[in-house]
Amino acid sequence: MKASSLNNQIDDLFFKAKKYLPKKEVEKIQMALDLASSAHKSQKRMSGDDFIVHPIQTAIRLAEIRLDPDAICAALLHDAIEDTNIDKNKIKKVFGPEVLSLVESVTKLGNVRIKKSWFPYLRVQKSEIPEFERQVETLRKMLVAMASDIRVILIKLADKIHNLETLSHLPEEKRERIAREAIEIYAPLAARLGMGKWKGIMEDLAFPYVLPKEYNELRALAIPKIKDREKYLREISNKVKSLLEKDSIRPEIEFRAKRWYSLYKKMQKYDEGLEKIHDLIAVRIIVSSIEECYTTLGLIHSLWKPLVGRIKDYIALPKPNGYQSLHTTVFTDDGKIVEFQIRTVEMNNQAEFGIASHWVYSEDKKSRNPSKREVQWLKDFYQIQKKVNSVDELADIIRMDLFKNRIFAFTPLGDVKDLPSGATPVDFAYSIHTDIGDKCIGAKINGKIAPLDTKLQNGDIVEILTKKSAKPHADWLNFAKTPFARGQIKRKTG
Ligand code: MN
């Protein structure tokens, strides 16, 4: 590899780090780079590149989301314990116990290797059971590591992304497996953390290796349409922009083509042609305050009629992963349908980087709010997995937590409960407290009495009615969804 290319990559890393880190922290990163470079010296990647390129690219990905310097150092050293004879004590002495612990956790995670598709795992053959158990165990390990420090998984995901970027250098028989792992395991993990951008990046890197024919057909079909559509959207948006500027609002307007894999999935799901897909390109209007978001929405609606039922206020009612935005779909003057997403800069960061946006480095230690960094479902998972002893049950929990669509419902006081789709008031009751579940006799959904087996919908407000003398019923098992509720009911009625 040419030295100039390596130097460019190092420059890129420090350019990005200096944008948000003080000198002292940048120096620490330089030391981590020096240590990693000497440890990996003379090692090569399959591409022929010096090995150090890989940790550097992993670190760059994390510097882009302005992760704290300990995580950047750990990213630079993430393959050093396993692949070199580096001295752990040295890492600890120079960089502190936190960096060492991050590096060790990433090393311990290892790789999830899936032979058979994880879906549908229920059809596992007897001979494959050890493999299946190993997969479940690896996923458990990952989730437990995430529960203790989310940065471990962020480093792992950044590592995966670079491996996907360089997949073409691997032997052909390995490519598809690694790409499939990304789509089946790592992309859903990123999604569950609200990291929509990384999820999309991983899926689109993996897509051509998993479904090459479909990938090529879709691109050939969509690229000309995307070009036409973008031209049209720019015209429409200029109208909005000039009106907003009269109100002294200076919006950033972004046009984002839908990611290939998510476009593919959407067409499969609805069995629809491209012309029916209105969000082929998303129009994002980014303004500087919440007030300006609503002003912008009002202005768009004064220009064009909105489609009924398509106005979504995720600012007042954020999604459980923290996503906030206003969405509206309108008929434009020439009868076309256009979707707008309106949000602030902070909301845009949250939408792209989810949980990671709470780890953004800040010099002011007081503004680093630890409670915002906690992920409730991970904390719950950590507690629940300790009590589970069958692999099937554990697999169910992981499937529910990670791969099932989620809905969110509210208590009358506005607390959000994050539940798998199909969850019922009984699941909701147990998610508040075991006692509330046990003593539950009925429920009001959005103010109306509803049966306990009602499937909750996104945004429902659920009030649980309880009675002191009440007890769980065995027939709740016919409809309760969450592993936690089911476990409690079984224990108390069996
Ligand atoms: Mn690596």
28 C-alpha to center of ligand 1: Å? 20
Identity (one letter) of the amino acid at 338? Answer: V
> What's residue 84's pLDDT?
85
The residues assigned a catalytic role are: 82-83
Give residue-wise pLDDT tens across range 135-154: 777 778 878 887 778 899 99
> What's residue 117's pLDDT?
54
DSSP conformation class of 450: E
> What's residue 271's pLDDT?
74
> What's residue 1's pLDDT?
56
> C-alpha angle with apex 11: 8 to 15, nearest 5 degrees?
140
113 C-alpha to center of ligand 1: Å? 15
Residues with CB in 5 Å of ion ligand 1 = 79, 159
Read off φ and ψ for residue 443, nearest 5 degrees: -150, 150
> What's residue 127's pLDDT?
55
Strand partners, 281: 257
SS3 for 29-70 is HHHHHHHHHHHCCCCECCCCCECCHHHHHHHHHHHHCCECHH
> What's residue 409's pLDDT?
86
> What's residue 122's pLDDT?
39
Strand partners, 406: 420
> What's residue 451's pLDDT?
95
> What's residue 335's pLDDT?
84
2 C-alpha to center of ligand 1: Å? 21
Residue 103, both tokens? 């590096």
Burial, 143: exposed, middle or buried (Cβ in 10 Å; 0-12, 13-18, 19+)? buried
Regions of the chain where pLDDT drops below 70: 1-3, 111-131, 320-321, 359-374
78 C-alpha to center of ligand 1: Å? 6
Number of neighbours of residue 24 by Cβ within 10 angstroms: 8
Give residue-wise pLDDT tens across range 87-143: 899 999 999 999 999 999 898 887 656 555 554 443 445 555 666 777 777 778 878
> What's residue 123's pLDDT?
43
> What's residue 397's pLDDT?
80
DSSP conformation class of 22: -
